[in-house]
Structure 1
Amino acid sequence: MTTYRPAEAPEADPRVKAVFDDIRAVRGTDFINNMWRWLAVDPALLERTWAEVRDVVGKPSSIDPLTKEMIYIAVSVANNCAYCIHSHTAAARAKGMSEEQYGELLAIIGLAGKTNQLATALQVPVDDAFDLSKSR
């Protein structure tokens, strides 16, 4: 259930239209997903968020696009964001994620969650070898 109903014509605001046009151009599609439509409640928030997404995950970098999407899936699972799990799983599949890779990703997410919880519950101290401030 949503806590907000977006405007009927969000692109009536020129700032929103400019962001939506950029999303369409960058992604090569006319589809504007709900995340952007809901963020359009605040044009400044929409602009900032799109600029950051475009700069962090949209630009070529040393991390390939599929890996970026898989990281996004893992963080979305950890944060329990159903919307982002769905949208980034679809994006990862569009970028070539196989069913085998998806299965491995889910196994890693599950294992990381388990071992994180165990380390937290046991209050395991960080090894000196892993603490860069002590390993000189």
Structure 2
Amino acid sequence: MPPRIPALADPRRTPGASVIEYEDASPEVRAVYDDIMATRRTDRVNNFWKALAHHPPTLARTWRDLREVMGAGALDPLTKELVYLAVSMTNSCEYCIASHSAAARAKGATDDMLGELMAVVGMANETNRLAAALRVPVDAAFEGEPWPRTG
């Protein structure tokens, strides 16, 4: 029988998932924690990672993938945080909203930027739902819009 993951054992459980602190972590989990702290240049690991530590393969995979996606690329770091925050708002993830608001602020987001982001997220959700409910046909001018563009 696979081990029970305490965070998922009882969905009615409050206040939330149990976390695994560094001193209680297995060597496999500590290696990921060490990489998180080194990459982020901090002396602490967020509760999200400590909750995932109940399943070390998921912890390692999620950290690896997040590090890759949020790393250097065509989008600047603040834009990536704002996109992450917008999706977190849409998904009503309280933890992610708090975490990525702090990360966006650390990368230069202002109160005005975050307020405008919230307005855009709200408007996009409203118009998306209206278009979906009305089953609005896609305009011919937008049909077949290629992504990625070739040539």
Above 0.5 in TM-score?
Answer: yes
Shift of 1:113: 0.8
Confirm or deny: 8 A CA contact 2:17 2:51 kept in the other structure: yes
In the TM superposition, 1:1-136 aligns within 5 A as: 1-7=14-20, 12-57=25-70, 59-132=71-144
- How much has 1:6 moved relative to structure 2? 2.6
1:10–1:76 CA distance, 2 compared to 1 (3 A): farther
Aligned length: 133
Structure 1: where are the runs of 5+ without partners? none
Mapped to 2, the partners of 1:52 and 1:86 lie a distance apart of 20
Task: Determine the C-alpha separation between the residues in 1 that align with 2:74 and 2:34.
Answer: 27
- Larger deviation, residues 65-74 vs 6-15: 6-15
| TM-score in terms of structure 1 length | 0.90
Using the alignment, how far apart are the partners of 1:102 and 1:75 within structure 2? 13
Identity of matched residues, %: 50
Question: For the Cα contact (< 8 Å) 1:69–1:92, is it kept in 2?
Answer: yes
Instruction: Indicate the RMSD between aligned Cα atoms, in angstroms.
Output: 1.7
TM-score by length of 2: 0.82
Alpha-carbon offset, residue 15 of structure 1:
1.1
